[in-house]
Chain A
């Protein structure tokens, strides 16, 4: 929990990076969503990227570049975005939060339960970011492990066939486990949520091998592995059919 003590709205990326590298406690980048709760003892400066023009969604022919500041609602509404990604963006949050939460914020939060992140992974997501060393680009999976800096966009493939299967307490619940498969000319990708601290790409031929899920009140390790195997089989069968 933190309390905002200063608000910055830079108008250039350079200015934003400069703020990030300022002396003392690094400011936090506001990427929308419910993660900023202004209570608690920790003082925090924040950087609002809304003026940087990072909210565009562009069809590049074979891929789609989604600006980091595009809201989940904008992603859900944009016909250029693959249907499975649109559905995942819509399912990520309810209406009043989806309109302020962004794709970049979702990537930055690295939630292991994010269906949208799993879908971006399955669609070959690439993260563009900028930091003190300048611009950089890396696979989303790599970013989830060790990425830093300001995310500027996420690029996903726009073709292929996808299937998603989820298990939750209710139809709109954050899935206990979700499986997303994407089949394209490059082969089949399979991503899972609920089985690691971040969503992960797994080997479609042995989806649960090597996984060490966390356990919580919604699902034990044994249960998560069982459901991951079941849902993986279902989505793989669907895309391969």
Chain B
């Protein structure tokens, strides 16, 4: 290959650089330090590498650098001319909360720039069309569209109204439901505005509850180096993984001689030269749930895409070539993909090794048998006037963060292992990787920079061990980044389930008993296999009161790509089945579907009696003296607001459901009741450390891992509220196992509640020290009478001293002392958030095509610490949930190979095809949470699929028992 010199007009300067003929424009720009041009896939459909080529937005993945020779190339760095200042488009993205992880924000900003320069007043359709090539797994595109509209207005010289929160009057008394009033006018405000219904129980606060700008917004809008791959390390090697072409095979031999002989190859590792240390890759608390059925490299492969070997080389291309030179002889074994068939006698035994313990029934591939019962289910069924049984199937999907997994590992000057990695669980990763590397935990440091989305896929020690093994083998830094195809075939997915709900009902609609039989498909490894399934049981059996409940679950090995954690963690599966089942029972009983649910759903004071018997810590066998109870519940206000927003009465209007002018279309509206959890009680733990600086600002170190959710901002707001300072005076750093306190990580809807309480307690400890110092400086005898506000400490008599003076006094002048506080928190409670999910659809009765036209979610998340980031969580979560119910799926061929391992064939929603979405935040005061907060991150994943399904019932009478609702499935169901 001959190297080429190319000349570009790069960000306004004529630039000549060398490149290889094969190099993409993205690769060359990143090599030039323009790190805002990011990798989401090699085929360009994520838009992460969006740049302007002669002023036109293109994906730099699919443009060879040589093709750009002689052209003008613009990246977002061209806008970053002043420190601390930004372009109006960047300001608009910051002000509207348009960025969560911000991984694709630079491309969106550039696209907006090109669009507005071409058309100063773009329509929403034009904005959405521009965004169609930039995938966003986080925001639901709602706030980016708003940001671009506002930026265009500013650039036209207009002054848009400040972006804010729409405060709505409550429709209920907070406890009792009201009938839906068809004449009640819908709320007419922009979709992107959080609609907040305050609670009279919530006190007035200065920072908490306000739509504060995210603390990481500026660096994200500017595309500054912030993500794992945005650093350069001298002599870095590039790693590639050889993956199995077979779903199930034994490795007879590996010949790596040719690969090792290739110039530029520095190491080749596989099962013959890496120690066999058993582990479970799920990022979970100590002790990791069993079985520990994985090793870094095994002599057997159990799914297409499984690890076989890895190479480190001077370039990615050499590593790819070396992978192709490794000769592997396989003994191909029969494979099994269906969880129901995997348990049959004679099915292939997937884990036949003798060094994995704690598999319940190895010969029948049953990893776990989980049983929990309250009351006497059999007796209740035998006496019940009405009983029902339905079986549902939920399928395999992917979290699909736009930033793929990436890890960079190196040995530092102390010969400690440093791993900079895109992870949700840095502390778990450090602990879990230590035995694999044969290193003590103290010699391992895991750094989590900004993460381009995770959604559970990164609650896993997925690739860190490979990068670290290669770094040890080569004594050089090693970078391993998954391709998009690898992300699909080797990352983590949602567990498929077969769920059978059996329900016994009294004449009046009172639930008497529920039995949930679940067969969970955990694929080839048990990572998260126990806990996802127990959470499915928990969610399936706690939403409604029934005195008798039973969860009966088998977790089964198969040869599908590996399931693991995915936002929702068992709840979306369970609630699709449950909310479909409840709808159908109500219809059979002739009871209004909402009234049937209302009669049975849990209310304040009701026991969540099966919860302690299902959890990560295992099943409690004994009766407890006390069971957790619902302490706050805003579902009635959620119902009222949601029914008004969706105009619930239209579902009974034949003129609307069967429009005369479109004879092949039917319309419908559906509902699902949602209840989730807030953290794992007695297990999830967060830590926080805060210290004062000379100017009265604070450094706040948290182990919590903001993966784009705004967690750093929320935790900062909590501390700022306690300390009486603006959010800008709290400088948040997360997370680094050498620097920050321990935190279990970002999962289980725990960060606001658990890490937030730790932040509040740490801030309270600091506050007490400030008060003591202030009292001394002000001559006050009782420090407790001091109040902190507006960056000052006030005595009851009105005298005050600034926090800056307190800091200077403490650090430099008198009885010097570092004012600082550290706290941690673990909760005995798990207060559930509640939500009402509505969906409006159109169905083509000839083709089965469903078009989702509107989604409304009204959520009780306690007090939303930041209504903008909270509403963004719901907007993005609903759209992920829409994909789950509507169009996303793993398609495997008969050999177990995924045939749609790229975006497009694996369909996720784009900006130009979104349904209308509305989000309502219904405040309740949850006394156990920091400033009244509960969780919000996962509940948006729970109700969309059943709401669509129930809308289809309303539209056509067709009752689906499986997702996704792709056209042929719906067509077949309608014709069956």
Interface status of B2 (Cβ within 8 A of chain A): yes
Interface with B: A15-23, A36-44, A201-209, which one?
A: A36-44
Q: Is the CB of A173 within 8 A of B887?
A: yes
Identity of the chain B residue whose Cβ is nearest the Cβ of A45 in the assembled complex: B21
Identity of the chain A residue whose Cβ is nearest the Cβ of B4 in the assembled complex: A7
Which residues of A are found within 8 Å of B904, using beta-carbon distances? 174
Q: Is the CB of B56 within 8 A of A99?
A: yes
Identity of the chain A residue whose Cβ is nearest the Cβ of B887 in the assembled complex: A169
Q: Is the CB of B899 within 8 A of A39?
A: no
Q: Measured between alpha carbons, how far is A238 from B527 in the docked complex, in Å?
A: 54
Interface status of A34 (Cβ within 8 A of chain B): yes
Q: Mark each residue of chain B from 797 to 817: 1 if its CB lies under 8 Å from any CB of chain A, else 0.
A: 000000000000000000000
Interface with B: A58-66, A88-96, A122-130, A144-152, which one?
A: A88-96
Give the distance to chain B from A54, nearest Cβ to Cβ, in Å: 15
Which residues of B are found within 8 Å of A176, using beta-carbon distances? 967-968
Interface residues of B in 877-933 (CB under 8 A from A): 886-887, 889, 891, 899-900, 904, 907, 909-910, 912-913
Given contacts A6-B2, A46-B64, A226-B971, contact A97 B59 (CB under 8 A): yes
Which residues of B are found within 8 Å of A94, using beta-carbon distances? 45, 47, 132-133, 910, 912
Identity of the chain B residue whose Cβ is nearest the Cβ of A231 in the assembled complex: B847
Tell which of B67, B483, B844 has the most Cβ of chain A within 10 Å. B67
Interface status of B131 (Cβ within 8 A of chain A): yes
Q: Is the CB of A95 within 8 A of B886?
A: no
Which residues of B are found within 8 Å of A218, using beta-carbon distances? 966, 968
Q: Measured between alpha carbons, how far is A227 from B967 in the docked complex, in Å?
A: 10
Give the distance to chain A from B113, nearest Cβ to Cβ, in Å: 13
Q: Is the CB of A170 within 8 A of B887?
A: yes
Q: Measured between alpha carbons, how far is A231 from B664 in the docked complex, in Å?
A: 11
Which residues of A are found within 8 Å of B887, using beta-carbon distances? 169-170, 173
Tell which of B47, B58, B889 has the most Cβ of chain A within 10 Å. B58
Q: Is the CB of A7 within 8 A of B21?
A: yes
Interface with A: B316-324, B600-608, B731-739, which one?
A: B316-324
Q: Measured between alpha carbons, how far is A99 from B115 in the docked complex, in Å?
A: 13
Q: Is the CB of B907 within 8 A of A96?
A: no
Which residues of A are found within 8 Å of B202, using beta-carbon distances? none
Which residues of A are found within 8 Å of B851, using beta-carbon distances? 170-171
Which residues of B are found within 8 Å of A167, using beta-carbon distances? 844, 847, 849, 967
Identity of the chain A residue whose Cβ is nearest the Cβ of B133 in the assembled complex: A96
Q: Measured between alpha carbons, how far is A176 from B847 in the docked complex, in Å?
A: 11
Give the distance to chain A from B975, nearest Cβ to Cβ, in Å: 9
Contacting residue for B62 out of A95, A100, A217, CB 8 A? A100
Contacting residue for A96 out of B4, B24, B44, CB 8 A? B44
Q: Mark each residue of chain B from 19 to 43: 1 if its CB lies under 8 Å from any CB of chain A, else 0.
A: 0011110000000000000000011
Which residues of A are found within 8 Å of B707, using beta-carbon distances? none
Interface status of B1 (Cβ within 8 A of chain A): yes
Q: Is the CB of A34 within 8 A of B45?
A: yes
Which residues of B are found within 8 Å of A33, using beta-carbon distances? 62
Interface status of B57 (Cβ within 8 A of chain A): yes
Interface residues of B in 118-170 (CB under 8 A from A): 129-134
Q: Measured between alpha carbons, how far is A95 from B135 in the docked complex, in Å?
A: 11
Query: Number of contacts between A and B (CB, 8 Å)?
Result: 150
Interface status of B111 (Cβ within 8 A of chain A): yes
Q: Is the CB of B64 within 8 A of A4?
A: yes
Q: Is the CB of A98 within 8 A of B966?
A: no
Give the distance to chain A from B181, nearest Cβ to Cβ, in Å: 32
Q: Measured between alpha carbons, how far is A93 from B849 in the docked complex, in Å?
A: 21
Which residues of B are found within 8 Å of A7, using beta-carbon distances? 4, 21, 64, 66-67
Interface status of B50 (Cβ within 8 A of chain A): yes
Q: Is the CB of A38 within 8 A of B22?
A: yes
Q: Measured between alpha carbons, how far is A9 from B910 in the docked complex, in Å?
A: 35
Q: Is the CB of B130 within 8 A of A6?
A: no
Which residues of A are found within 8 Å of B900, using beta-carbon distances? 217
Interface status of B846 (Cβ within 8 A of chain A): yes
Which residues of A are found within 8 Å of B847, using beta-carbon distances? 167, 226-227, 230-231
Given contacts A169-B907, A174-B904, contact A217 B889 (CB under 8 A): yes
Given contacts A4-B64, A6-B2, A227-B847, contact A99 B58 (CB under 8 A): yes
Identity of the chain B residue whose Cβ is nearest the Cβ of A51 in the assembled complex: B70
Interface status of A220 (Cβ within 8 A of chain B): yes
Q: Measured between alpha carbons, how far is A95 from B45 in the docked complex, in Å?
A: 9
Tell which of A37, A94, A216 has the most Cβ of chain B within 10 Å. A94
Interface status of A131 (Cβ within 8 A of chain B): no
Q: Measured between alpha carbons, how far is A193 from B844 in the docked complex, in Å?
A: 19
Which residues of B are found within 8 Å of A137, using beta-carbon distances? none
Which residues of A are found within 8 Å of B59, using beta-carbon distances? 34, 96-97, 100
Q: Measured between alpha carbons, how far is A227 from B966 in the docked complex, in Å?
A: 13
Give the distance to chain B from A6, nearest Cβ to Cβ, in Å: 6
Q: Measured between alpha carbons, how far is A39 from B484 in the docked complex, in Å?
A: 13
Q: Measured between alpha carbons, how far is A87 from B652 in the docked complex, in Å?
A: 36
Interface status of A52 (Cβ within 8 A of chain B): no
Interface residues of B in 819-862 (CB under 8 A from A): 844, 846-847, 849, 851
Contacting residue for A39 out of B42, B45, B57, B130, CB 8 A? B42
Interface status of B295 (Cβ within 8 A of chain A): no
Q: Is the CB of A95 within 8 A of B844?
A: no
Q: Measured between alpha carbons, how far is A173 from B2 in the docked complex, in Å?
A: 40
Q: Mark each residue of chain B from 224 to 251: 1 if its CB lies under 8 Å from any CB of chain A, else 0.
A: 0000000000000000000000000000
Which residues of B are found within 8 Å of A170, using beta-carbon distances? 851, 886-887, 907, 909, 913
Q: Is the CB of B67 within 8 A of A6?
A: no
Given contacts A36-B64, A220-B968, contact A96 B23 (CB under 8 A): no
Which residues of A are found within 8 Å of B69, using beta-carbon distances? 9
Q: Is the CB of B66 within 8 A of A48?
A: yes
Contacting residue for B321 out of A5, A30, A38, A41, CB 8 A? A41
Q: Measured between alpha carbons, how far is A218 from B965 in the docked complex, in Å?
A: 11
Interface status of B63 (Cβ within 8 A of chain A): yes
Give the distance to chain A from B768, nearest Cβ to Cβ, in Å: 53
Contacting residue for B132 out of A3, A95, A220, CB 8 A? A95
Q: Measured between alpha carbons, how far is A169 from B69 in the docked complex, in Å?
A: 39
Q: Is the CB of A171 within 8 A of B44?
A: no
Interface residues of B in 4-28 (CB under 8 A from A): 4, 21-24
Interface status of A168 (Cβ within 8 A of chain B): yes
Q: Measured between alpha carbons, how far is A33 from B483 in the docked complex, in Å?
A: 19
Which residues of A are found within 8 Å of B972, using beta-carbon distances? 223
Which residues of A are found within 8 Å of B56, using beta-carbon distances? 73, 99
Interface status of A219 (Cβ within 8 A of chain B): yes
Q: Is the CB of A172 within 8 A of B44?
A: no
Q: Is the CB of A171 within 8 A of B913?
A: yes
Q: Is the CB of B134 within 8 A of A96?
A: yes
Q: Measured between alpha carbons, how far is A96 from B135 in the docked complex, in Å?
A: 10
Identity of the chain B residue whose Cβ is nearest the Cβ of A2 in the assembled complex: B22
Q: Is the CB of A90 within 8 A of B129?
A: yes
Q: Is the CB of B968 within 8 A of A219?
A: yes
Q: Measured between alpha carbons, how far is A57 from B21 in the docked complex, in Å?
A: 30
Which residues of A are found within 8 Å of B968, using beta-carbon distances? 176, 218-220, 223
Which residues of B are found within 8 Å of A4, using beta-carbon distances? 21-22, 64
Give the distance to chain A from B80, nearest Cβ to Cβ, in Å: 21
Q: Measured between alpha carbons, how far is A223 from B58 in the docked complex, in Å?
A: 36
Q: Is the CB of A6 within 8 A of B21?
A: yes
Which residues of B are found within 8 Å of A99, using beta-carbon distances? 53, 56-58
- Identify 17 new A-B residue pairs, CB closer than 8 A, beyond the known A97-B45, A172-B910: A30-B67, A33-B62, A34-B59, A37-B42, A38-B23, A40-B320, A48-B64, A96-B50, A99-B58, A100-B58, A167-B844, A167-B847, A168-B849, A216-B899, A217-B889, A227-B846, A230-B846
| 9 interchain pairs, CB-CB under 8 A | A30-B64, A41-B324, A94-B910, A96-B58, A167-B849, A169-B967, A170-B907, A173-B907, A218-B966
Closest 10 CB pairs of A and B: A96-B133, A217-B891, A95-B133, A94-B133, A172-B913, A96-B59, A171-B913, A169-B887, A94-B132, A38-B22
B residues touching A (Cβ–Cβ < 8 Å)? 1-2, 4, 21-24, 42-45, 47, 50, 53, 56-59, 61-64, 66-67, 69, 107, 111, 129-134, 317, 320-321, 324, 483, 844, 846-847, 849, 851, 886-887, 889, 891, 899-900, 904, 907, 909-910, 912-913, 964, 966-968, 971-972
